[in-house]
């Protein structure tokens, strides 16, 4: 199996390399591809230095599977070219709502891979990925009616530049120096910004709309959802506060048991100081951690919970590689 990674030098591209290595993914040749700015860069894979090739000159017929992690514009231009000779797994938002492109979280809807018509499979938004992996087992048993979600998303979700800016702003604040925001609409250090991506006419942001539409496509179009997405001064891992209303009655102990047994989930819920998982603890882990599971006393058949996941792994690189595994094993 020959694999290519477009955007290999970025946050997610590097994580894909790391995941492929840790999983001992069966690879004959690995091609690392990026823009001309990265030409000559060397990255390690299985203790070997690999040269980064330029996207403009890369021959996609050399790869059986190509991961795209270089943004929507690059995917729009190059993914259809790659898909003529290679199965594309795309991390951008460009193809997610295309009816001919399956949007996959393997633990939830791997069977939808068979609906692939353009030789492209899409990877969902990082916040969506960790959400649906929780909703799926609960929906199967109790039938979800409505979900209200607030996200607390790390700066790595916006890229390396925003991560660097968080560190830079923190340093400037500690030195009592003036801050000028470059990648954010307001100061990110020691702050929270209720704005991710561009605003739509109805007041929602594109990030919030993506979460709603993607969850419906992956899980069930009949589920009602509403979201508020917030950027917080954390480097890695997204957190979510989720309110879930069911059509059926439930037992709280059963919900905890189901979630803890579900692939990709891990319940850590102790009703005491520190009895929950935070973004710092989730970094570098493959699981979606679930805490603070409790009944919503204001509404019938409703629960609240808190979840945290490494957005570069579960929300991007790990899910992309698991899509590749699901594609290979689809028969």
Q: Do 118 and 82 contact (CB within 8 A), yes or no?
A: no
Please, what is the angle between helix 206-218 and helix 126-142, to 10°? 40
What is the Cα–Cα distance from 218 to 107, expressed in whole angstroms? 11
What is the Cα–Cα distance from 226 to 209, expressed in whole angstroms? 8
Q: Which helix (H) or strand (E) holds 157?
A: none
Q: Do 318 and 102 contact (CB within 8 A), yes or no?
A: no
> In degrees to the nearest 10, what's the CA dihedral of 113, 217, 96, 107?
-50
What is the phi-psi region of residue 325: left when phi exceeds 0, alpha when psi lies from -120 to 50, beta otherwise? alpha
Q: Is 238 among the residues known to form the active site?
A: yes
What is the Cα–Cα distance from 26 to 43, expressed in whole angstroms? 19
Q: Exposed (0-12), middle (13-18) or buried (19+): which is 61, by Cβ within 10 Å?
A: exposed
Q: Is 126 among the residues known to form the active site?
A: yes
The one catalytic residue in 126, 229, 265, 307 is 126
What is the Cα–Cα distance from 3 to 30, expressed in whole angstroms? 5
What is the Cα–Cα distance from 111 to 244, expressed in whole angstroms? 25
Q: Extract the tokens encoding 313.
A: 């792994």
The one catalytic residue in 139, 195, 229, 238 is 238
Supply the DSSP string of 188-219, one letter for each residue.
Answer: -TT--BS--SPBPTTS-BHHHHHHHHHHHHHT
Q: Extract the tokens encoding 188.
A: 């990110």
Catalytic residue list: 126, 238
């Amino acid at each position: 199996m020959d694999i290519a990674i477009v955007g290999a030098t970025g946050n997610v591209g590097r994580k894909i390399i790391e995941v492929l290595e840790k999983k001992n993914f069966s690879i004959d040749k690995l091609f690392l591809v990026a823009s001309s700015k990265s030409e000559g860069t060397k990255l390690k894979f299985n203790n070997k230095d690999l040269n980064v090739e330029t996207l403009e000159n890369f021959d996609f017929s050399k790869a059986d599977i190509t991961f795209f992690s270089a943004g929507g514009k690059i995917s729009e231009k190059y993914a259809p070219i790659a898909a003529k000779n290679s199965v594309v797994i795309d991390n951008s938002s460009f193809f997610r709502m295309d009816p001919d492109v399956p949007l996959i979280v393997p633990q939830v809807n791997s069977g939808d891979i068979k609906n692939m018509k353009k030789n492209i499979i899409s990877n969902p938004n990082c916040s969506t990925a960790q959400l649906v992996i929780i909703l799926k087992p609960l929906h199967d048993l109790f039938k979800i009616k409505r979900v209200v979600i607030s996200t607390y998303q790390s700066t790595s979700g916006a890229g390396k530049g925003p991560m660097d800016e968080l560190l830079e702003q923190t340093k400037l604040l500690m030195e009592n120096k003036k801050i000028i925001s470059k990648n954010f609409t307001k100061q990110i250090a020691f702050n929270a910004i209720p704005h991710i991506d561009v605003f739509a006419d109805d007041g929602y942001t594109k990030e919030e709309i993506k979460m709603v539409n993607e969850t419906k496509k992956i899980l069930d179009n009949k589920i009602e959802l509403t979201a508020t997405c917030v950027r917080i001064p954390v480097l890695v891992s997204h957190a979510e506060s989720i309110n879930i209303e069911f059509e059926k009655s439930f037992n709280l102990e059963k919900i905890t048991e189901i979630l803890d047994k579900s692939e990709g989930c891990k319940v850590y819920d102790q009703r005491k100081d520190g009895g929950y998982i935070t973004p710092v603890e989730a970094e570098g882990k493959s699981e979606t951690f679930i805490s603070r599971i409790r009944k919503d006393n204001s509404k019938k058949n409703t629960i609240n919970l808190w979840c945290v996941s490494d957005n570069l792994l579960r929300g991007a690189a790990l899910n992309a590689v698991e899509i590749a595994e699901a594609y290979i094993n689809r028969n």
